Amino acid sequence: MKRFIGKIEESQAIIEGEELNHLRNVLRLTVGDEVIVVNGDGCDYVCQITKIDKNIAKLSVKSKKNNKNNAKNQISLFISAIKREKLELVVQKAVEQGIKNLYIFESQFSTMKLKGEKLVRYQKIIESATKQCERADFMKIELLSFSQMLEKFAAHKTRLFANEREGEEFDFASLKSAKDIAILVGCEGGFSAEEKQQILQTKPENISLGTRILRAETAAILLAGIASLFSGN
Ligand code: SAH
């Protein structure tokens, strides 16, 4: 059954905008067809189309089902602001890996300045990836300053700091029962010595992903995948 992002209002679902265009003009679905509507609350709503016009499709909710692909564990990915296209890739892949929260923060060497208006674009990517990987919960995304990042990172139980050149080998199998994991990755230029010191003061696992220096987005996607798989997310 095809999946759409929409609004749920009691026993009725509403699909508008680009989602409506896809339903009506691309897939050419009509009254009577059944689809799954997702509104980000973690459930799949099985719905039947009752009315379609130019600006809106209305559907009746037939049943509400739990979705097994939602983020199960609390895994937060913290990444310093990298170039726009790379960051967009990380947003998409983080959703696919079942990440619950994505935090983008500014650091001394980050080239990109964080702008709130970018969140609209990121939300679109989140919604599209949510449909593609068949989740029904929306990954949360937030922009942070470096000090806000440190505070949030320190609050997680298991803290994984990807530290090229100075990190140590880590036994990823130890993540088996971890339910509250934070992953921290720097931008293209990495972290300054002062920033590294502040991060290390939160007593994270100081992790090497091998002797090769990876692109920030590679390190983020790799570590998010490892943490997700090993923790049974
Ligand atoms: N400019 C830095 C590289 C930064 S790589 C240098 O040349 O030293 C960008 C980020 O990816 C880093 O901050 C780190 O978090 C992560 N990363 C890249 N390669 C890594 C590795 N081999 N082990 C652990 N983390 C790595």
Q: In the prediction, which pLDDT does 122 show?
A: 95
Separation of alpha carbons 185 and 188, rounded Å:
10
**CA 94 – CA 137 distance, rounded (Å):** 13
Cβ–ligand 1 contact at 196 (below 6 Å)? no
pLDDT band at 177 (very low <50, low <70, confident <90, very high): confident
pLDDT in tens, 2-29: 999 999 999 999 999 999 999 999 999 9
Q: How many helices (H) and strands (E) does the chain have?
A: 6, 12
Kindly report the protein residue whose alpha carbon is nearest to atom 18 of ligand 1: 214
- Taking CA atoms only, the protein residue closest to ligand 1 atom 9 is 216
Q: Tell me how far apart the alpha carbons of residues 122 and 118 are, in angstroms, rounded to a whole number.
A: 6
Angle at 181 between CA 177 and CA 183, to 5 degrees: 135
Per residue in 140-157, pLDDT (tens digit) is 999 999 999 999 999 999
| Band of pLDDT at residue 111, cut at 50, 70 and 90 | confident
Q: What does the alpha-carbon distance between residue 195 and residue 109 come to, in Å, rounded to a whole number?
A: 10
Q: Closest ligand 1 atom, CA of 186?
A: 13
CB 151 within 8 A of CB 128: no
d(CA 120, CA 126): 10
Distance of alpha carbon 216 from alpha carbon 219, whole angstroms: 5
Confidence of residue 115 (pLDDT cuts 50, 70, 90): confident
Please answer whether residues 101 and 209 qualify as being in contact, where contact means their C-beta atoms are separated by less than 8 angstroms. Answer: no
Which protein residue has the closest C-alpha to ligand 1 atom 26?
A: 164
